[in-house]
Structure 1
């Protein structure tokens, strides 16, 4: 009986050692080839360029200074997912414009004056329209250039008759005649101010401004 107990104990000890050697890495075991799965860091999304227009079906009024046609109303209509149309009425004419919002920029694809009874084209016509110019482009950072425009500021403050805006983006474009055009954009409203400057004689400067006054 004592011999049998010793034998059973030896077998149990042998089995235990075998199990331990199969689960515990030994000094001479080759390194494991399994690697930890890589975790992709979420990519930072740029701003939604759709928000750089006035709200859908809104009518914005701009106060003008320096020219009788600097005062105007702007009607904004969201036509399709990536197409936005505007009607700008300055009491002298009505200008119809259509924009296409792309992933990294906004392009103007249509512009026509004397659009007193304008209808916006159907979707299939909009798709075939070539771009006229880039209206706004990413990245919205100081120094970005496109189509003769340069982003000069992205964190400005602007007082208007409507309200005081912060985080204002200001673009400028200089003409061959030394004239300068500035545009001011605010997320959620789009273009809120427009400035035209022209040097005059004897150090004088001619300036025309259109500034947001109200939004309905």
Structure 2
């Protein structure tokens, strides 16, 4: 399954980290109701594999479910066995990329330098995650787009409703968004509508064409 087209179309990946299985049910319901098409749970979240299985069962046909913070092949195998449809990592591990390609699973590895970005792309990753964007800044993104404009980048870190347009203007093909999508009060209260309302604003902002 190739999800790159879905990523390039919706331009947003929801990142869920460090929440309980019950909170993940609220998060998943709110994210999908808000229009998110790609959502990941990080593998350093307690019960991540259970959450992946829950989401696959609940949201089949509504959204694609992935695993984040996939640091090695062992974690990649566990995630795929649990039903992950794509893998995202904060680093470039050529063995993880090779495993994902063998399995026919999309892999979007994290990279920072031009060397890492190019290495990931030429190893077979169709899209590369630029991380940590909150520290690197938009100027860095603009600068590397010059020589690397043929490599689609997911800019992850620091995205808000106020600055999301700037990420796309700077050259991001998509953005990864975590805590901004999931208001803590809504999550704790089990307020699916509150999560959906917040999510839909980001989804609409990401869907707008660049000016």
Q: TM-score, normalised by structure 1?
A: 0.31
Does 1 or 2 have the higher relative contact order (CA < 8 Å, sep 6+)?
A: 2
Please state which structure has a larger fraction of its residues in helix: 2
Please state which structure has a larger fraction of its residues in strand: 1
